[in-house]
Amino acid sequence: MKTEITRPEAGVNYAVITPQNADQALNSVDKQDVIAAFREHGAILFRGFPLDHESFHALAAAYCSNFIVNRARGRENVSPDRRIQTVNLGHEAFPLHPEMSSMPTRPDIAWFACKSPPLVGGETLLCDGIAVVAGLSEQTRELLLERSFRYRTRMTPEDCELWLGSKHPEATALAGLDEHCPLDITIEDGVFYSTYTTPALHKPMFSDQYAFGSFLLFARNMQGWKDFPTFEDGSEVPAAVCDELKQVSDTLSVAHQWQAGDVLMVDNTRFLHGRNFVLNSKQRVIWTQFGYAAFIPGLDTLLATQPWRRTTPKH
Ligand SMILES: [Fe+2]
């Protein structure tokens, strides 16, 4: 069946795929066409397809090798395996962020599906991190190209289980750390800390251009945190840099107005997302899934060195 794809146009930064008839299943869209559009544009809206738990579950499974459960508070589980969750059920507007970008287990694809749209407000914001870098001043771009962000945090029992094999590990567990572990783990006064250091600008999985996408704007503008992330040497990211990143990314953001049945497939290594203030959180029903792309370049190597791509975490 021919795939109807509309390229990003006038005020929209995602491609749109629509069905050939009202009964066409989400999962019946030609997979190679979807992958080609996703690689090029980084975000796709499926609009007009029938949507329920099963079809959303099956669509994501066709493109992902594994999934990660978001442990942030304020969400509810939708599917028994916890793969489908609601978005945060509060009202707050959320600054732009890639999902779970303070961790090396950041998912490749963020899926959003709308069961019930908000009548007013509550738009999901989408921003292309490649466009953000292109919009920065030369000075800021050069600065960020030279720096990395550092996320240092006290490990939760769940973190300890994931990386050290036990919720309450002994100090000797450090000696058995996997050689590919992307975290620097230390023990201070008997407490385990992890440090994740990652370039301030990075190349998304399907691009040779640099993108901005980190927890920085959410940390500064939502949490008020100045120490998560810091630069790689522990120094604070200057307020002027944060302000410029916010101003440029806000200008580039597209506010997606949800319709019932909409599904967004977003490259979480390239795009940031956020949301406008939610007026009625009962009416706004958005489901999510966060997965690892089964069509990422170098999959075999990644499967060997990044076990979360093939093994569902136990928590
Ligand atoms: Fe999010």
**Residues 112-152 pLDDT 10s:** 999 999 989 999 999 999 999 999 999 999 999 999 999 99
Beta strands in 129-168 (DSSP E): 148-154
Q: Is 198 helix (H, G, I), strand (E, B) or coil?
A: strand
Instruction: Compute the average pLDDT of residues 197-223.
Output: 97
Q: How far is the CA of 171 from the centre of ligand 1 (A)?
A: 34
Tell me the pLDDT of the chain averaged across its residues.
Answer: 94
Token representation of residue 155: 């490990």
Q: How far is the CA of 111 from the centre of ligand 1 (A)?
A: 10
Instruction: Compute the average pLDDT of residues 72-76.
Output: 82
Q: How far is the CA of 183 from the centre of ligand 1 (A)?
A: 23
pLDDT of residue 244: 98
Instruction: Compute the average pLDDT of residues 173-184.
Output: 89
pLDDT of residue 299: 94
Does the pLDDT value for residue 72 go beyond 90?
no
When mean pLDDT is compared across 84-93, 239-248, 292-301, the lowest value belongs to 84-93
pLDDT of residue 314: 47
Q: How far is the CA of 76 from the centre of ligand 1 (A)?
A: 14
Q: How far is the CA of 274 from the centre of ligand 1 (A)?
A: 6
Does the pLDDT value for residue 27 go beyond 90?
yes
Q: How far is the CA of 174 from the centre of ligand 1 (A)?
A: 32
| Cα–Cα distance measured from residue 132 to residue 271, given in angstroms and rounded to the nearest whole number | 10
Q: How far is the CA of 100 from the centre of ligand 1 (A)?
A: 8
pLDDT of residue 312: 58
Residue 144 gets which letter from DSSP? Answer: H
| Cα–Cα distance measured from residue 49 to residue 82, given in angstroms and rounded to the nearest whole number | 23
Query: What are 124's strand-pairing partners?
Result: 256, 275
Handedness of CA 277, 280, 285, 290 (dihedral sign): positive
When mean pLDDT is compared across 62-71, 79-88, 201-210, 257-266, the lowest value belongs to 79-88
Residues 286-300 pLDDT 10s: 999 999 999 999 999
Q: How far is the CA of 187 from the centre of ligand 1 (A)?
A: 30
| Cα–Cα distance measured from residue 306 to residue 308, given in angstroms and rounded to the nearest whole number | 6
Q: How far is the CA of 51 from the centre of ligand 1 (A)?
A: 21
Rg of the chain, C-alpha, whole Å: 20
Q: How far is the CA of 270 from the centre of ligand 1 (A)?
A: 14
Q: How far is the CA of 14 from the centre of ligand 1 (A)?
A: 17
Does the pLDDT value for residue 1 go beyond 80?
no
pLDDT of residue 311: 66
Cα–Cα distance list, 309 to 23, 29, 104, 207, 292 (Å): 33, 24, 11, 20, 6
Q: How far is the CA of 275 from the centre of ligand 1 (A)?
A: 8
Q: How far is the CA of 161 from the centre of ligand 1 (A)?
A: 24
C-beta of residue 292 within 8 angstroms of C-beta of residue 140: no
Q: How far is the CA of 140 from the centre of ligand 1 (A)?
A: 25
Does the pLDDT value for residue 60 go beyond 60?
yes
Q: How far is the CA of 213 from the centre of ligand 1 (A)?
A: 12
Q: How far is the CA of 1 from the centre of ligand 1 (A)?
A: 33
Of all residues in the chain, what percent carry a pLDDT higher than 70? 98
Handedness of CA 221, 226, 227, 231 (dihedral sign): positive
Q: How far is the CA of 273 from the centre of ligand 1 (A)?
A: 6
Q: How far is the CA of 291 from the centre of ligand 1 (A)?
A: 13
Q: How far is the CA of 99 from the centre of ligand 1 (A)?
A: 5
Q: Which helix (H) or strand (E) holds 237?
A: none
264 contacts: CB under 8 Å, gap ≥ 6: 14, 43, 44, 45, 46, 110, 111, 112, 113, 124, 126, 256
Q: How far is the CA of 97 from the centre of ligand 1 (A)?
A: 6
C-beta of residue 309 within 8 angstroms of C-beta of residue 128: no
Residues 94-103 pLDDT 10s: 999 999 999 9
pLDDT of residue 126: 98
pLDDT of residue 150: 98
Q: How far is the CA of 57 from the centre of ligand 1 (A)?
A: 19
* pLDDT band at residue 313 under the 50/70/90 scheme: very low
Instruction: Compute the average pLDDT of residues 188-209.
Output: 97
pLDDT of residue 227: 97
Token representation of residue 243: 């302000």
Phi, psi for 15 (deg, rounded to 5): -80, 155
C-beta of residue 83 within 8 angstroms of C-beta of residue 68: no
Does the pLDDT value for residue 310 go beyond 50?
yes
Which among 252, 277, 290 has a CA at the least distance from the CA of 14?
252
C-beta of residue 50 within 8 angstroms of C-beta of residue 23: yes
Q: How far is the CA of 95 from the centre of ligand 1 (A)?
A: 9
Q: Which residues of 137-168 are buried (b: 16+ CB within 10 A; e: fewer)?
A: eeebbebbeebbbbbbbebeeebbbbbbeeee
pLDDT of residue 108: 98
Q: Which domains does the chain have, with CATH numbers?
A: 4-131+249-309 (3.60.130.10), 148-199 (no CATH)
Give helix then strand counts, H and E, for the chain. 8, 18
Q: Is 183 helix (H, G, I), strand (E, B) or coil?
A: coil
